[in-house]
Structure 1
Amino acid sequence: MTTMTQRTEAPPCEPLLSDRIAGSLLGAAVGDALGGPVEGYAPEQITERHGGRVRGIVGPWNGDHWRTARPLAPFHKGDGHVTDDTLMTHALIRVYTAVRDHLDAYDVAGHLVPDLMTTPRWIPELEADALPLHRIFLAEKWLVARLHYGHVDPREAGTGNIVNCGAAMYMAPVGLVNAADPRGAYAEALDIAGAHQSSYGREAAGVFAAAVAAACAPGATAGSVIEACLDLAKDGTRAAIEAVAEVAAGHRDFETALAPLRAAVAPFDTVGPDYRAPSLGARRPSRLHAIEELPIALGMLLVGEADYRRTVLGSVNYGRDCDSIATMSGALVGALRGEAAVPAEWVKQVADASRLDLHAPATALTEVAEEVFAEDMRRHHARTSAFAALTAAR
């Protein structure tokens, strides 16, 4: 991985934690909004529909017929509206603000599930106040079915769900709370995601959180983020990241990288070539496979050399589940380079169109991250003192 590390240099001025958290969450939300209206389509279809590559915020795929056009009705995807990726990310931040410590699967059952099913919130794609439960898809509704109605052990509730990126897409806050500690972020995200996913879907959640934590380290680069992922990732997830990263290292323009990156991840992707007609083996547990979204997001981070526009627009124009890919790659660029990396005009457009305060979650999570670190230090000092007493010469 030496070549990748050399290609991407650290920014000249290191962002502080608060700046990295704001950059990551804003970068994720903007990426989500950019990718939403072209989600599920191939690069060729996107080019035909928009007369070229998507270069900014665009309207719904079916124009004014978005309310009834299948397969996306009744969601208004486009015009700067964030999707469930951002809604779930903000919901997880609310769990952190309630618990104010590291989270586990029981916090998902005790806080996230009630948040989804009891508190109406503004849902941009529905253009209405509604329960978040009414917006999320079946893979996320699984949380409510298993934990609230099924009373399943939270640590095992993800077993049986389809294996997809549902848990990974909202794990950036875990990486931010564990900033500069990829191993800690990986472990915490695996615990949280056990309530939602199993197999390589759960693994992707852990690795994505680790990637965000690694991106927060002083001096981090796109290459060092990939190396942190490869240090922790297991089975097909590790193999997919390695395969995509090797191909991405040979490209600096997403135009030339789109087809090669898809070819690199295809052997590990269970969905198959037609995103809207998954194969019979799609989304089933396996040690040989990986979700597509995370390796491609990491690949685009390398191709775009951690530049926000190049990285995220590459993710958007890749198509398929591109809102989640752009959410992940946008979160990583923001964590590496801070809020200034995310185009301010896009942030304003998305915040205004979605009618959401995109900065407030970042402020809240920064406070929690600082509190959690202080508590971690207290716990560390207590154990250090205890261990010293246990090993003192007699």
Structure 2
Amino acid sequence: MTPTREETRTEGTRSEGHEPTLEERITGALVGAAVGDALGGPVEGYSPDQILERHGGRIRGVVGPWHGDDWRTARPVAPYHKGDGHVTDDTLMTHALVRVYARVRDHLDAYAVADHLVPDLMTTPRWIPELEAEALPLHRVFLAEKWLAARLHYGHVDPREAGVGNIVNCGAAMYMAPVGLVNAANPAAAYAEALDVAGAHQSSYGREAAGVLAAGVAAACAPEASPDTVVTACLALAKDGTRTAIEKVCEAAGGCADAESALGALRAAVAPYDTVGPDYRAPSLGARRPSRLHAIEELPVALGMLVAARGDFREAVLGAVNYGRDCDSIATMAGALAGALGSPVPQDWATTVAEASRLDLWAPARTLAEVTGEVFAADVRRRRAHERAFAAMGGPACSD
């Protein structure tokens, strides 16, 4: 669980003029996502004011459960040990998707979800930090993720259409960073692959958010990337309400001095596109229904925090955490984006989360870096074969 010397690229290499390598960006994104998830978990569902009152100020690192020692019984619907550095289902799903890449060792689609991801969730017990026990991941994931098993394993639905009918939320987007990393520096390819993968899980703006998050992570991996280039890449691909929400939220974020001052501004900007409403624990009747006019809240706010924080990991993640509402997923996305940009993940946070969760946060990054290299090499071979075939048909030869 403790990183090796090479893996502790957590204290600023970018700021010293070092351009992060692909492996460093993959590590930063995956470790950063897990750290953001763990920091946001204990305050998920609460407002910034409630968080401020409960903790006597803004959260600045790992904190304990909201209900203290009563975490098992305070909310029987969710008897999870959220806090103390424990990752949530966002990270469990992200690591599961990395394992699918490790098996397939190529681009994924909706059928890979049915053939590999669902069996992984249903058949192999793993350590679940919030349950403090070994269990099937399926027993921890939220209802929107249990949908995968119901539709694909039991219902035998076409994987490309299985997401239709599920609640429209951030369920697919929250674990889609690996797709962006496999397609590093190619946002359009990441977007297309994520839309295919997410089709097994989500529809409407939930599926769209998965594609755009993957595109954003891919854009963040490009040399000399910045929050502005990431947002530009997302806007170039995003559709309907998702695009408008990102545009409005990031415009508001650009006028904020920092992530702290962005808390209210970002919520006001995203509110017209969010279906949940002002009370996160009492969603409106129209919440999470398909629409071309709306967007999930989490992705635009994560991008907004990235902009407000000027790409700084610590500030973007803490802004996402103190935003409240679905802040574990917002911080997961913000952490993945900032980590892919090369902003340092605080080593003390990463080590605390790894030890508390009993997870090796760096092993998935090593695996995905290997797979990403293999997939890129396969893509080059496929592209060269296409070029030769196209030239043989009398088409123009590729000049380079």
2:274 corresponds to 1:279: no
Give the C-alpha shift of residue 88 in structure 1.
0.1
Give the C-alpha shift of residue 252 in structure 1.
2.4
> For the residues of structure 2 that align with 1:346 and 1:392, how far apart are their CA atoms?
54
Out of 121, 129, 141, the position equivalent to 2:126 is 121
In structure 2, what is the equivalent of residue 358 of structure 1?
361
2:153 corresponds to 1:144: no
2:190 corresponds to 1:222: no
In structure 2, what is the equivalent of residue 300 of structure 1?
305
Deviating runs (4+, > 6 A) in structure 1? none
In structure 2, what is the equivalent of residue 370 of structure 1?
373
> For the residues of structure 1 that align with 2:51 and 2:76, how far apart are their CA atoms?
16
Does the 8 Å contact 1:10/1:221 carry over to 2? no
TM-score, normalising length: structure 1:
0.96
2:27 corresponds to 1:22: yes
Give the C-alpha shift of residue 72 in structure 1.
5.8
Does the 8 Å contact 1:33/1:78 carry over to 2? yes
1:312-371 per-residue CA deviation (whole Å, 9 max, x = no partner) reads 000000000000000000000110016xx0000000000000000000000000000000
> For the residues of structure 2 that align with 1:343 and 1:381, how far apart are their CA atoms?
42
Does the 8 Å contact 1:85/1:324 carry over to 2? yes
Q: How does 1:227-238 map to 2 (within 5 A)?
A: 227-238=232-243
In structure 2, what is the equivalent of residue 42 of structure 1?
47
Q: How does 1:158-169 map to 2 (within 5 A)?
A: 158-169=163-174
Does the 8 Å contact 1:163/1:284 carry over to 2? yes
In structure 1, what is the equivalent of residue 390 of structure 2?
387
Structure 1 residues 291 and 10: alpha-carbon distance in aligned structure 2, compared to 1, 3 A threshold? farther
Letter in 2 for 1:367: E
In structure 2, what is the equivalent of residue 178 of structure 1?
183
Paired residues in the alignment total 383
Give the 3-state SS of the residue equivalent to 2:234 in structure 1: helix
1:166-220 per-residue CA deviation (whole Å, 9 max, x = no partner) reads 0000000000000000000000000000000000000000000000000000010
Out of 13, 16, 19, the position equivalent to 2:18 is 13
Does the 8 Å contact 1:66/1:72 carry over to 2? no
TM-score, normalising length: structure 2:
0.94
Letter in 1 for 2:365: A
Does the 8 Å contact 1:10/1:220 carry over to 2? no
> For the residues of structure 1 that align with 2:211 and 2:166, how far apart are their CA atoms?
17
Give the C-alpha shift of residue 299 in structure 1.
0.2
2:256 corresponds to 1:251: yes
Does the 8 Å contact 1:252/1:305 carry over to 2? no
Structure 1 residues 112 and 390: alpha-carbon distance in aligned structure 2, compared to 1, 3 A threshold? same
2:350 corresponds to 1:347: yes
Q: How does 1:17-166 map to 2 (within 5 A)?
A: 17-70=22-75, 73-166=78-171
Give the C-alpha shift of residue 392 in structure 1.
5.4
Structure 1 residues 313 and 59: alpha-carbon distance in aligned structure 2, compared to 1, 3 A threshold? same
- The two structures, once aligned, show a CA RMSD in angstroms of 1.2
Give the 3-state SS of the residue equivalent to 2:393 in structure 1: helix
2:272 corresponds to 1:267: yes
1:45-75 per-residue CA deviation (whole Å, 9 max, x = no partner) reads 0000000000000000000000101166410
In structure 2, what is the equivalent of residue 187 of structure 1?
192
Structure 1 residues 71 and 302: alpha-carbon distance in aligned structure 2, compared to 1, 3 A threshold? farther
1:211-247 per-residue CA deviation (whole Å, 9 max, x = no partner) reads 0000000010000000000000000000000000110
Give the C-alpha shift of residue 375 in structure 1.
0.1
Structure 1 residues 278 and 383: alpha-carbon distance in aligned structure 2, compared to 1, 3 A threshold? same
Give the 3-state SS of the residue equivalent to 1:281 in structure 2: coil
In structure 2, what is the equivalent of residue 6 of structure 1?
none
Structure 1 residues 347 and 131: alpha-carbon distance in aligned structure 2, compared to 1, 3 A threshold? same
Unaligned 5+ residue runs, structure 2?
1-13
> For the residues of structure 2 that align with 1:254 and 1:358, how far apart are their CA atoms?
26
Structure 1 residues 374 and 11: alpha-carbon distance in aligned structure 2, compared to 1, 3 A threshold? farther
Give the 3-state SS of the residue equivalent to 1:56 in structure 2: coil
Does the 8 Å contact 1:103/1:192 carry over to 2? yes
Does the 8 Å contact 1:29/1:86 carry over to 2? yes
> For the residues of structure 1 that align with 2:250 and 2:313, how far apart are their CA atoms?
18
Letter in 1 for 2:104: V
Structure 1 residues 198 and 10: alpha-carbon distance in aligned structure 2, compared to 1, 3 A threshold? farther
In structure 2, what is the equivalent of residue 5 of structure 1?
none
Letter in 1 for 2:142: F
Unaligned 5+ residue runs, structure 1?
1-8
State, as a whole percentage, how many aligned pairs show the same letter. Answer: 76
Give the C-alpha shift of residue 257 in structure 1.
1.1
> For the residues of structure 2 that align with 1:36 and 1:59, how far apart are their CA atoms?
10
